[in-house]
Chains A and B, each alone.
Chain A
Amino acid sequence: MSQRLRKQAVELDKNFRYEISQKIGAKSLLKCIQCGVCSSGCTVTEYVDLQPHRIVASCLLGLKEEVLSSQAIWTCSLCHRCTERCPKNVDYSFILALLRSMAAQEGRIPKEYSSSVITILENGFVIPYSEGMKKNIDKRRARLGLPEISGPNQNEIEFIYEETGLKELIKKTEVGK
């Protein structure tokens, strides 16, 4: 996103910064001094459309749409270097997780994410354990004398998904596609 963005003051979402900072663990957003340490140490810095310090600046400015639709919030390996190095203790890696969940609330989430969450709902594990792979893995586990893999009671997991509204949210993201 190298082209200049022009917006009138009235077009900014001035509440966006507080929408984030009032959440547990995200108050630190307001302390950013734009030094850029987060971006200089960021593992994915050369791959993103908005680097960490610019995401933070955009949050503070009220560029909600730009932030939530950026590719940057989905391109983070959660290595936590930004958070560790920040001289003002801004917890960027957590704020990023929060931004992801805010985008998800609006149904804007890459399908790889929602499909992983569905996999856990259906299997209890995020790494599928089925078909040909299952046969090979079972064979090797037996050879190593390892116990059989026993997943969770799926009813419990499903109940949690329903209770918290996560199941509804998955439906919403499915429709949103």
Chain B
Amino acid sequence: MNQENQWRYGFFLGCVAPNRYPMIESSIRAVFDHLGAELLELEGAACCPAPGVFRAFHIPSWLIIAARNISIAEELGVSPLTGCNGCYGTLRDAWFEMEHEPHLKKMVNEHLAKIGRKYKGNLEPKHVVQALYLDMGIEYLRDHVKHKFKDLKVAVHYGCHILKPSDKRPWDGEYENPTFLDEIVELTGAKSINYQDKFMCCGAGGAVRTAVKEVSADFTREKLANIREAGADIIIDVCPFCHLQLDLGQMEANGVYKNMIGEPFKTPVIYLTQLLGLSFGIDPNKLGLIKNHNLAGVPPFISIDPFMEIVKEQLI
């Protein structure tokens, strides 16, 4: 099988990336294209639906809507691919549960049949990072590196649902001390630095951001303080919802915890494929790394200019 046929995915956009951080979506498309992987559009895909808020409300509907989304990729004969940990959590958990509980699959298909759809379950939902690291492999990625950073300290944030529940994830049960993401980051010459409680949640998940804002803001503040303490130049993440929380969350912490944090937070938040794409020599504009804009109230909230300065000094 040639590579082009091998690496075809149905690009599941989710909610946060297309509607808030199109830069992330753009960088995923650019990097996959550069690597010879094809991303197909999933016509009619809905919200995954959100694992915290939706599953909490009504488990069967959560499962049916998730299966409906997966079935759209199945019709094209490809795995759904998402760049979001939350969507990954829903799609992969739903897929896994239906594989292990045949009567759930039966129940789901009884409902889907009425809207003319069918869920087969033969194609595993994948995360962008999973496709990069497990399908293509670190050596293949290394072959595409053109430019390397000389001195860039990165605080890597994995997020939760890319790793857990570990029995439903492809990382051989590793969840406390994985390295796959650090390895990809370090291909670019950047250094993945250690910081306290690196695997702490960003604070957005489980609808905590939506429903209990003060709790969410407080532990995001703790995470951000740990990152700053370690001397990170930028934060790298692999989830638009973590991205939103770590970006907008800095603004929020700068307001609410003004007296507690000292200097305001201002660490640029960059998505993995934006960093990787730069190292591959892809045009920064295609990676959504455009100059800070004057559109008030839309992301990114924390200026990425300091990062772009580093790019200019070290890569060009």
Contact = CB atoms under 8 A, between A and B. Distances in A.
B283 to A, nearest CB: 11
Contacts of A78: 51-52, 89, 160-161, 205-206
B310 interface: no
Interface string A165-177: 1100100000000
Contacts of B64: 160, 164
A160 B115 contact: yes
Contacts of A84: 164-166, 175-176
Interface in B10-63: 13, 15-16, 18-20, 22-23, 25-26, 29, 41, 43-47, 49-61
B47 A97 contact: no
Contacts of A27: none
Interface stretch (B73-81, B196-204, B270-278): B196-204
Contacts of A160: 61, 64-65, 68, 111, 115
B18 A126 contact: no
Interface stretch (B121-129, B133-141, B182-190, B209-217): B209-217
Interface in A141-162: 141, 143-147, 149-153, 156-157, 159-161
Interface size class of A (residues with CB under 8 A): 35 or more
A40 interface: no
Contact of B19 (A47, A149, A166): A149
Contacts of A91: 165
Nearest to B204: A77
Interface of A: 24-25, 43-44, 47, 74-81, 83-84, 91, 93, 97-98, 100-101, 104, 109-110, 112-114, 116-117, 120, 124-129, 133, 136-137, 139-141, 143-147, 149-153, 156-157, 159-161, 163-166, 169
5 contacts: A76-B208, A126-B47, A146-B18, A165-B58, A166-B58
B47 A120 contact: yes
Size band of the interface chain B makes with A:
35 or more
B57 A104 contact: yes
Contacts of B65: 157, 160
A113 B49 contact: no
Interface string B100-112: 0100100000010
Contacts of B281: none
Interface in B285-315: 285-286, 288, 290, 295, 297-298
Contact of B26 (A101, A120, A146): A146
B304 to A, nearest CB: 14
Contact of A146 (B22, B50, B161, B295): B22
Contacts of B15: 125-127
A169 B164 CA distance: 30
Contact of A137 (B60, B204, B298): B298
Contacts of B104: 24
Given A109-B56, A116-B207, 5 more contacts: A47-B218, A74-B211, A78-B161, A112-B53, A160-B111
B57 A125 contact: no
